[in-house]
C-alpha cells in the first residue's frame, strides 16, 4: 500500500502541495489529474524522494528507502534515454540500477520489444529510433523489472491510439500481477477506462477523490441522451432542460437543472409512447474536470 498523509511542499512563496492525502493499494490503479501546475509532478517527486517535503509517505508501512526504490517503476514526463547506447544497453543499465542482474534482464528484452511493437532491435542505438519508439523503450525500462509500485507521469503523451492500447494492456497486466499503479493524464477517457480511483489536484489541494463511479455520482445524473425525431428547438422547451447539443442526426444530449427531473422529462417527451433512446447519467470525467478546474478553491 502506498500511503500519503498531509503532504505539504513549499517553493519560496508558492505552495505546491497543501495537505495532500491519499492511498493506492496493490492491484489498484489511481489516476492523478489536474491542470498543469496543479501539483501532480511534485507529488511524484515527493514519493521518489527527489525533493524534501513535509508529511508522511510510506510503501507497505515502511519509509521509501533505497531498497524500496528497487520495487518502483517510474516513467517521467520528460524523456531521459541516453542516445548513444543501444536499446539493450539502455534497458540493462536501468535494470541494474534497480538491482536486477543483466543475465536476468537480457533474455526478456526481445519479448518486451515485441510486446510494445518497437520498430527496431536490441542492437539499434537509441538515437536511431523514432520518438515514439524511444518512448516505448522507456516504458520497457520502467516495467521490465516487474515493479510493485508503478508511477507514470503522462504515459500516453504522444502515443497514437494503437500504441496507447498497448500501454493500457501493459498497465492492466501489471495490475493483475498485484502492482499498485498511479499515473497522471489529461485524457479523462484513459482515466475513466483504467482507474479504480482518482484524485484531482487544484493549486496543490485535493478537490476530488474517490472511485470513478463515486466521483461522477457526486454530480448527479444531470445528462440525458435521447434519440428522437423532435427538433433541437422542441427539446429545449422541455421542463428542466438547460441546454441541448446535437450529437448525431437524431441523437441529442440534454443538460438538466436537477437529476430528479428525469421522470417529468420522460413524460413530456414521450407521452407514454415508445422512444428509441432515453439514457440519464452523471457528467463525464472530462466535463467534471472542466467544471472543477474553473471553480475557485474552497
| DSSP assignments along 205-231, one per residue | EEEEEEEHHHHHHTT-S-EEEEE-SS-
Low-confidence stretches of the chain (pLDDT beneath 70): 296-298
Q: What is the pLDDT of residues 109-132, one digit of tens each?
A: 999 999 999 998 999 999 999 888
Q: What is the pTM of this model?
A: 0.85
Q: Is 7 in a helix, a strand, or coil?
A: strand
DSSP H/E element including 164: helix 161-176
Give the C-alpha separation, 165 to 159, whole Å. Answer: 9
- How far is C-alpha 77 from the geometric centre of its chain's CA atoms? 13
Position 298 scores a pLDDT of 46
277 and 226 Cβ atoms separated by less than 8 Å: yes
- How far is C-alpha 110 from the geometric centre of its chain's CA atoms? 28
Q: What are the φ and ψ backbone dihedral angles of 9, each rounded to 5 degrees? A: -140, 130
Cell 523489472 found at: 145
Give the C-alpha separation, 205 to 214, whole Å. Answer: 19
Position 297 scores a pLDDT of 56
CB atoms within 10 A of CB 78: 7
What's the Cα-to-Cα distance from 268 to each of 161, 211, 234, 237, 264, rounded to whole Å?
41, 34, 11, 10, 6
Helix, strand and coil content of the chain, in percent to the nearest 5, comes to: 35, 30, 35
Q: Is 222 in a helix, a strand, or coil?
A: coil
- What strands, in cross-sheet order, belong to the sheet with 14-24? 14-24, 2-11, 54-59, 62-63
Q: Greatest CA span in the chain, whole angstroms?
A: 72
Query: Which CATH superfamily includes the segment(s) 2-216?
Result: P-loop containing nucleotide triphosphate hydrolases (3.40.50.300)
Q: Where are the domains of the chain?
A: 2-216, 223-281
CB-facing half-sphere around the CA of 48: CA atoms within 13 A: 19
Amino acid at each position: 500500500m502506498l500511503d500519503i498523509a498531509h503532504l505539504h511542499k513549499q517553493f519560496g512563496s508558492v505552495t505546491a502541495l497543501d495537505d495532500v492525502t491519499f492511498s493506492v493499494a496493490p492491484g489498484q490503479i489511481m489516476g492523478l489529474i489536474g491542470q498543469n501546475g496543479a501539483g501532480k509532478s511534485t507529488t511524484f517527486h515527493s514519493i521518489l524522494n527527489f525533493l524534501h517535503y513535509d508529511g508522511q509517505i510510506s510503501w507497505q508501512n515502511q519509509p521509501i528507502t533505497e531498497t524500496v526504490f528497487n520495487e518502483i517503476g517510474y516513467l517521467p514526463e520528460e524523456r531521459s534515454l541516453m542516445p548513444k547506447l543501444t536499446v539493450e544497453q539502455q534497458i540493462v543499465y536501468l535494470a541494474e540500477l534497480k538491482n536486477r542482474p543483466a543475465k536476468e534482464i537480457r533474455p526478456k528484452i526481445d519479448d518486451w520489444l515485441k510486446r510494445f511493437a518497437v520498430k527496431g532491435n536490441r542492437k539499434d542505438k537509441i538515437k536511431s529510433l523514432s520518438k515514439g519508439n524511444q518512448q516505448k523503450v522507456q516504458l520497457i525500462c520502467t516495467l521490465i523489472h516487474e515493479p510493485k509500485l508503478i508511477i507514470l507521469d503522462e504515459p500516453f503523451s504522444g502515443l497514437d491510439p494503437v500504441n496507447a492500447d498497448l500501454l493500457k494492456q501493459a498497465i492492466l497486466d501489471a495490475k493483475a500481477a498485484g502492482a499498485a499503479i498511479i499515473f497522471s493524464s489529461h485524457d479523462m477517457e484513459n482515466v475513466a477506462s483504467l482507474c479504480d480511483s482518482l484524485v484531482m489536484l487544484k493549486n496543490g489541494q485535493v478537490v476530488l477523490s474517490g472511485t470513478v463511479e463515486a466521483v461522477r455520482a457526486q454530480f448527479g445524473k444531470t445528462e440525458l441522451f435521447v434519440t428522437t425525431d423532435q427538433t433541437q428547438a422542441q427539446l429545449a422547451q422541455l421542463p428542466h432542460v438547460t441546454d441541448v447539443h446535437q450529437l448525431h442526426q437524431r441523437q441529442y444530449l440534454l443538460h438538466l437543472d436537477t437529476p430528479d427531473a428525469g421522470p417529468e422529462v420522460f413524460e413530456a417527451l414521450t407521452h407514454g409512447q415508445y422512444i428509441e433512446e432515453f439514457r440519464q447519467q452523471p457528467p463525464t470525467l472530462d466535463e467534471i474536470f472542466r467544471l472543477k478546474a474553473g471553480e475557485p478553491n474552497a
